[in-house]
Structure 1
Amino acid sequence: MLNASLIIVLITVMINMMGVGLSWPILPALIKELSGGTVSETAAIYGVMAVAYSLMQFVFAPLLGGLSDRYGRKPVMLIALTALGLDNILLAFAPSVEWVIFGRMLGGALASSMSIANAYVADVTTKENRAAGFGLIGAAFGIGFIIGPIAGGLLGEMDLRLPFYCAAGLSLLNVIFGIFMLRETHPKEKRSKKSLALSNPLSSISWLTKNNILLMLGLALFFATTMERGMESIWVLFTQEQYGWGMKEAGYSLALVGICFVFVQGFLVARVVKRFGEMKVMVFGMTSSAFLYSILSFNTIGAVGFWGIVPHIIGWGCATPALQAMASHQIDESEQGYLQGALTGVTGLSAIIGPAMATALFAYFTSNAAPVYFPGSFFLLGSFFFLLAAGFGSRAKIKTSK
């Protein structure tokens, strides 16, 4: 299944995620330094930043997907990589919280490279190999996420701004790499002539409602990703508050997530999908995540939190490419970019709601106003949402690989 085009895209994704991972453990500390607030107040500001980023991604990701269908993958990918570099430069020099939020909004608007990478996969894989192809994208994501957070946590303890300088440099390297190594995989004769009005995020998502199968899969993706994005937004803050971790420990935990992604999506997902089929894998993944979230909601032992994330990543890491492959089987080749843009629009909407819910619950239940101290309140809610995702996904009665 591996070919030169796919390998280059995987390298691009890996470098991209190294840059993203560098800044992840540091952002809460940067916000706390700039605002001078408490943990609860920092969580509230972090929530505003996460929602602003996700709102811009929600608006612009479907447009980038549509543009890649009309004008090709490579130019749109290069725009996304350049925007990520500018985002990190703004964060490196940000004099205030407002500048941080502005930088994240820029990144959300133009740095949506994953939808383009997924469209690349759809271009260069067969239907039989597509779930494995999406899994390899996740593995490349994971490799970048092994290196990035560890380096970010260590560099951040030396200088809070240093990880952002390094991330900006990696983004520049990735742009240069892309200019010379990425090739166009979406030839002119296959490019879509559909109106870019479909790239309106609401139109893009409503496009999924015309197909009941895509609607069920879209709802499953929405509920699951809402919880996943919520967890990502509070993980560093939650582990600092619940387990007393610093930036270094948070970086190690995020690196473990990357290691799990490499194993699951680079090795495991293709095998389990082949053996059990996309539907069973997707439902199992969602329910295993529900189980893990229920444990995290009450756990106060750092080692359990550190290693307990593994079953969630196994489940989530298998479920996502299986669901994406199920959706991609329902449309023809000329619309894969629109589909990936629409799915990214769904995850973008989830990424608005999830961080807003997670940070609001975390901020409230760690404040003096709460009737009970409960930092893990969001995870209890997340357990229920993952079960909803499994329910909606199981209603997508389609012919898959098994």
Structure 2
Amino acid sequence: MDDAATNPVETPAPTAERSGPRRRQAAFGFIFASALMNSVSFGIMIPILPNLIRQFTGGDTAAASEWNMVFGTTWGLMQFFMGPILGMLSDRVGRRPVLLISFFGLAVDFLFMAFAPSLWWLYVGRILNGMTASSFSTAGAYLADVTAPERRARSFGMLTSAFSFGFIIGPTIGGVLGEHSLRLPFLAAAAITAVNWFYGLLILPESLPPERRLKAFHWARANPLGSLRLLRAHPGLLGLAGVGFLFQLAQIVLPTIFVLYTSYRYGWTPGVLGMTFLLTGVLGVIVQMFLVGPAVGRLGERRVVLLGLLAGASGFVWYGAASAGWVYLLGAPIFALSGLIMPGLQGLMTRRVSPQAQGQLQGANQSLQGIASIVGPLIFGETFAWSLRREASLNSPGLAIYVSAGLLILGFALALRTARAPNPEPRTA
């Protein structure tokens, strides 16, 4: 039976170990640059897409808000379905072709949205964008290929910092360009992604040699539900994925209600919001680039995950209880430590599956993230609205944020049971 999901943890050493330090560093450098450029291209759309949607609805803000929710839910659905497919495809044919196809597809999708003549054309572009954005799962599998097991948590921390950098730079670029034209940021995103594709076409080496790939592509395991078989096939893997899902779901509260919550409670203006995004982004980068590696080296992946979950829950409680804007900001350094969670989890999870299943693992994780993107806005948006309608008696506008804190506490309890390192991977010369 050639099912990688049921095979033991890999026996061959990672490709990077046989390729030499220079090749390994070059490959990681490309993945880091790709994550940075992709997150910049996505960040560019953050301040622009809702306004373009409103333009198509004739300036009707309420209708634009409803369409924006539909766009977000659809994007999550595409992630849910396409993550496992692209992940398993990369296990079958290699990481390089899947990454290059995804990058090229993203560039085309951004052009599609830049020239969309109607709302429905824009919606189709968003569907295609969600499908090709699933390349993140393949990038994670590539990183696992070229990094030794004991260094994966630190490498995933660096990869996450690239996303944080991108979401600091991207919205700034989008806002500046959007002052001139709502279409211009999409063209910039297309150009950035096209450069990424061309650079990869010339530079990117393959990380998964033919002898370590899946023998066949199995549609039964490439669908989102089938991908869960991989999570069930290894001790503790499903529990770790559950911790990651709870974290991703809790995080959805911020893009869902942050602007409305802080404007309502503290009277923050767009300028203050922009500075807050900058502050939290910089803190996140500091944690992911400079704290993850030393913390994992001293505490181990399990304790780092637990520390991150406690810090995230504490930060959410602080945010929900803060009675003034300056008090809210004092909680940002505490919450920034939640950036320890995913690198530690990824380090633990990638050590539990074979090289032939790294893409499937990342695809399954991306499907769970897609589910969080679908249900999160409904949970937190409705909770926030409900708390405001009952403010006279409840007096808790931060209720939705407390719900997120509760989700991380559940994640902490689950991590106590499952976040343990597996037996060391056998190494060969």
TM-score normalized with structure 2 length: 0.84
Q: Which of 222, 241, 244 is 1:221 aligned to?
A: 244
**What are the superposed Cα offsets for residues 284-337 of structure 1, whole Å, 9 maximum, x if unpaired?**
11121112222323546444445634432322x111110111111112222111
Q: Which of 152, 159, 168 is 1:130 aligned to?
A: 152
Question: How far off is 1:375 after superposition?
Answer: 5.6
Matched, 1:256 2:279: yes
Give the alignment of 1:125-274 within 5 angstroms: 125-194=147-216, 195-245=218-268, 249-274=272-297
Pair 1:169–1:361, CA change in 2 (3 A) = farther
Matched, 1:92 2:114: yes
**What are the superposed Cα offsets for residues 179-229 of structure 1, whole Å, 9 maximum, x if unpaired?**
112111111111112524211111102321233401111111111111113
**What are the superposed Cα offsets for residues 259-292 of structure 1, whole Å, 9 maximum, x if unpaired?**
2332222221011011111111111111211122
Contact 2:138 2:359 in 1 (8 A): yes
Matched, 1:350 2:375: no
Most deviating of 101-110 and 150-159: 150-159
Helix, strand or coil: the match of 2:200?
A: helix
CA separation in 2, counterparts of 1:32 and 1:366?
Answer: 25
Q: Which of 11, 18, 29 is 2:40 aligned to?
A: 18
Contact 2:246 2:407 in 1 (8 A): yes
Give the alignment of 1:279-358 within 5 angstroms: 279-299=302-322, 301-306=324-329, 308-315=331-338, 317-358=339-380
Question: How far off is 1:159 after superposition?
Answer: 3.4
Question: How far off is 1:76 after superposition?
Answer: 0.8
CA separation in 2, counterparts of 1:182 and 1:287?
Answer: 38
**What are the superposed Cα offsets for residues 69-110 of structure 1, whole Å, 9 maximum, x if unpaired?**
111111111222223223323333345544443322211112
Q: Match for residue 427 of structure 2?
A: none
Gaps of 5+ in 2: 1-20, 425-429
Give the alignment of 1:378-389 within 5 angstroms: 378-389=400-411
Matched letter for residue 339 of structure 1: L
Helix, strand or coil: the match of 2:352?
A: coil
Contact 1:227 1:386 in 2 (8 A): yes
Contact 1:77 1:113 in 2 (8 A): yes
Q: Which of 63, 69, 78 is 1:56 aligned to?
A: 78
Equivalent residue pairs, number:
400
Q: Match for residue 81 of structure 1?
A: 103
Pair 1:295–1:102, CA change in 2 (3 A) = farther
Contact 2:161 2:284 in 1 (8 A): yes
Question: How far off is 1:237 after superposition?
Answer: 4.7
Most deviating of 80-89 and 273-282: 80-89
CA separation in 2, counterparts of 1:301 and 1:28?
Answer: 28
Q: Which has the larger radius of gyration?
A: 2
Q: Match for residue 13 of structure 2?
A: none
Gaps of 5+ in 1: none
Q: Match for residue 9 of structure 2?
A: none
Question: How far off is 1:249 after superposition?
Answer: 4.6
Q: Match for residue 65 of structure 1?
A: 87
CA separation in 2, counterparts of 1:4 and 1:339?
Answer: 24
Question: How far off is 1:252 after superposition?
Answer: 4.0
Q: Match for residue 45 of structure 1?
A: 67
Q: Match for residue 398 of structure 1?
A: 420
Contact 1:150 1:252 in 2 (8 A): no
Helix, strand or coil: the match of 2:353?
A: coil
Question: How far off is 1:236 after superposition?
Answer: 4.2
CA separation in 2, counterparts of 1:240 and 1:167?
Answer: 29
CA separation in 2, counterparts of 1:300 and 1:83?
Answer: 46
Question: How far off is 1:251 after superposition?
Answer: 4.3
Root-mean-square deviation over aligned CA pairs: 2.8
CA separation in 2, counterparts of 1:373 and 1:93?
Answer: 46
Question: How far off is 1:169 after superposition?
Answer: 1.6
Helix, strand or coil: the match of 2:47?
A: coil
TM-score normalized with structure 1 length: 0.89
